[in-house]
Structure 1
Amino acid sequence: MLLAGCSGGNGGGSVNGKHRESTGASGAASARTPASGSGGAASSLIANGPGPQAHCTVQAQPAPGTCNYRTVHGQPPQDASCTPGALNPDVTQATLKTTVCRASGYTSTIRPPVSVTSVEKRANARSCGYTASLHDAEYHHLISLELGGDPNDARNLWVEPPSAGHAPGSGPSNPKDAVGNKLHQALCAGQVTLAQVQQAIATDWTTALATLHLT
């Protein structure tokens, strides 16, 4: 049965209007159970999160200063030791048509509310040592909701700084969203499996399309 997202939220569940996530109910130390039924062995390397919850709570973030940023081709990928990704166990290869590939509406039902993610975002900025304007950064799902990422597992969310050349004060501008959209289209068209897109974007979103020969 499809859960109706986190109670007490506005349904949007994003800071700056984009994707968001955090850890399971037990915080950053929640059990890392391998995913199953996702159409291939690759995503079994990525932990399952708790999945959509009837009530969202603020999730624990890594300790301040324990995560690092790097720049690859002008983009700031996540620190994989802090943000390895986490999967929504409700989304499998067998359930694509009733979850992420249904006509509309699935991701809006599972997004955490801003009242939760705004607190997580500030804490995660301290985790990463991000001190610039949070207006220009995005609290972002590594594996997006439309690709079966867990909605509120801290292993799947991080404060992503703006790309190189970004004008300060202009708000987030993130090409990762376009990558996720193309992967979603390919997934729902049957060109790639769920496991393939999840592993590709979790490994390096800047090369995910090339890795899957979708460029």
Structure 2
Amino acid sequence: MRSAHRAASSVVLSCLVLAGCSSGSVGSSPGAGSGSAPAGPSASAGRGGLSGRAIPVGAGPQKQYTVQQQPAAGSCHYRHVKGEPLEDPACTPGAISPAVTQTNLASTICRAGGYTKGIRPSTFVTGREKELNAASYGYTGRMGNAEYDHLISLQLGGDPNDPRNLWVEPPDPGHKAGGGVNNKKDPVETKLHTAVCSGKVSLAAAQRAIVSDWTTALSSLGLG
């Protein structure tokens, strides 16, 4: 079951990055089709020999995770758009949870009472992963100022602990040292979540937009 879920996530991941799949492969528009991820061959691991493993997730008690292998130190490189940091797509192409589909939004990411608390990995796991991933990206700033970020956020159906979906996001330029985490990506994720749950955009479209470039995700979907 675990390998089947990984295969499904990998295929949809490839569709997200390439944005070349037919409708329904990544997710369908509200009210159309199942939006389920098809099974298929795994996507390539990416730079640095990354070999992380997606963990099946869903509603219910807190899930158990283990520290995932990260790309080799120094193998990942930040990009910047208008001064804002973006991930290295070869190291962090994004990965989705097979437990979240267009047809079950009401019982997953859009359900009353919230969704992310029960699937979020513990800080024991993510703290170690963050240190390793900082080395992958060559991040040498204050760890307290950087966010260990889900590229496709949990509230958009991102995989909770697949290393392809997590990166050390540095603080915005000019952010005061010691001021904690402060970045402009979080509000984008929240607005996309609201748009998905209100039926303005499909889950797949929101996921593709955040993977392509979080700084233009809203404008590319006509959301501002």
Q: Same fold (TM over 0.5)?
A: yes
Deviations 1:154-179 (A, max 9, x none): 00000000011111111110110000
In structure 1, stretches of 5+ residues that fail to align are: 1-24
Structure 2 residue 14 is matched with structure 1 residue 39: no
Structure 2 residue 193 is matched with structure 1 residue 204: no
In 2, Cα distance between equivalents of 1:84 and 1:70: 13
Question: Which has the larger displacement, 129-138 or 116-125?
Answer: 129-138
Give the match for residue 138 of structure 1.
147
What is the TM-score when the length of structure 2 is the normalising length? 0.77
In 2, Cα distance between equivalents of 1:155 and 1:94: 25
RMSD of aligned residue pairs (Cα, Å)? 2.3
Give the one of 153, 172, 188 matched to 1:179. Answer: 188
In 2, Cα distance between equivalents of 1:111 and 1:62: 21
2:84 counterpart SS class: coil
Give the one of 66, 73, 77 matched to 1:64. Answer: 73
Give the match for residue 162 of structure 1.
171
The structure, 1 or 2, with the larger RCO (C-alpha pairs under 8 Å, 6+ apart) is: 1
Give the match for residue 13 of structure 1.
none
- Contact 1:70-1:76 within 8 A present in 2 as well: yes
Question: Which has the larger displacement, 166-175 or 108-117?
Answer: 166-175
In 1, Cα distance between equivalents of 2:26 and 2:167: 26
The AA in structure 2 aligned to 1:122 is: E
In 1, Cα distance between equivalents of 2:181 and 2:219: 24
In 2, Cα distance between equivalents of 1:37 and 1:65: 31
Give the match for residue 149 of structure 1.
158
In 2, Cα distance between equivalents of 1:56 and 1:160: 21
The AA in structure 2 aligned to 1:93 is: Q
1:76 counterpart SS class: strand
In 1, Cα distance between equivalents of 2:77 and 2:92: 10
In 1, Cα distance between equivalents of 2:115 and 2:148: 20
Structure 2 residue 94 is matched with structure 1 residue 85: yes
Give the match for residue 47 of structure 2.
none
Measure how far apart 1:193 and its partner are. 0.2
- Contact 1:37-1:93 within 8 A present in 2 as well: no
Give the match for residue 50 of structure 1.
55
Higher Rg of the two aligned structures: 2
The AA in structure 2 aligned to 1:51 is: P
- Contact 2:10-2:95 within 8 A present in 1 as well: no
1:158 counterpart SS class: strand
The AA in structure 1 aligned to 2:115 is: Y
Distance change >3 Å, CA 51–CA 211, structure 1 → 2:
farther
- Contact 1:112-1:152 within 8 A present in 2 as well: yes
Fraction of identical pairs, as percent: 53
Measure how far apart 1:144 and its partner are. 0.2
Deviations 1:27-73 (A, max 9, x none): xxx756313462169x98x9794332842100000000000012211
In 2, Cα distance between equivalents of 1:37 and 1:206: 22
Measure how far apart 1:74 and its partner are. 1.8
Query: How many residues matched?
Result: 186
